[in-house]
Chain A
Amino acid sequence: VQLVQSGAEVREPGDSLKISCQGSGYFFMKYWIGWVRQKPGKGLEWMGMIYPGDSETIYSPSFEGQVTISVDRSTRNAYLEWSSLTASDTAIYYCARLETYSGRNDAFEIWGQGTMVIVSS
């Protein structure tokens, strides 16, 4: 079971970007996948999550309208997308699979390796 994320990206302010997270080794459609931001030297911020089975998506109010979370079931990929990057988007972005030990989402059991995004002119 693993999540493999796309490689590091360097972009200029105003650019668009879509990063990916591919799940393997498990029934992809069954588990929610979340996205977590970590700015340089800072803590973890939950951005939102998506259920591949029906594409239901929940965003943190702090990120709603700033990013788009999507999924492609045919390629087993979840995506995080920006239409117009700013320098404040510079961070490492992790995808993580939610486990349901209690019968509902309760912990990020599997994490991707992270994708570093640098936005600079």
Chain B
Amino acid sequence: DIVMTQSPVSLPVTPGEAASISCRSSQGLLNSNGYTYLDWYLQRPGQSPQLLIYLGSNRASGVPDRFSGSGSGTDFTLQISRVEAEDVGVYFCMQALQTPFTFGPGTRVEIK
């Protein structure tokens, strides 16, 4: 199985400031079709997860442009340019290159 790790575990942020979350995979997520199978999800308190970023860097429908995904190979980053109160929750990365799909352990973003 591909093992996913994330850092930091917890991230206190001030509204309006930028935030960055790192995700690493135990093997590269680039497929022979040229796509990188790495997604980002946000789970707000008491809610189901929602898709933020798919295939490494593509924002899902309705996701504000303050969210961006980057990276390649085994190292990926989710950036929030200006954190808002509604961004509080746990962020998970997930690899969809091969089954079993695997999630990172999550990064909890909280407002200072």
Contacts and interface: CB of A to CB of B under 8 A. Distances in A.
B26 interface: no
Interface in B77-112: 92, 94, 96, 99-106
Contacts of A109: 51, 54, 60
Contacts of A60: 99-100
A106 interface: yes
Range of interface residues on A (Cβ < 8 Å):
20 to 34
B43 to A, nearest CB: 8
Is chain B's interface secondary structure helix, strand, loop, or mixed overall? loop
Interface in B38-64: 39, 41, 43, 48-51, 54-55, 58, 60
B49 A101 contact: no
A43 B92 contact: yes
A111 B50 contact: yes
Contacts of A104: 33
Interface of B: 1, 31, 33, 35, 37, 39, 41, 43, 48-51, 54-55, 58, 60, 92, 94, 96, 99-106
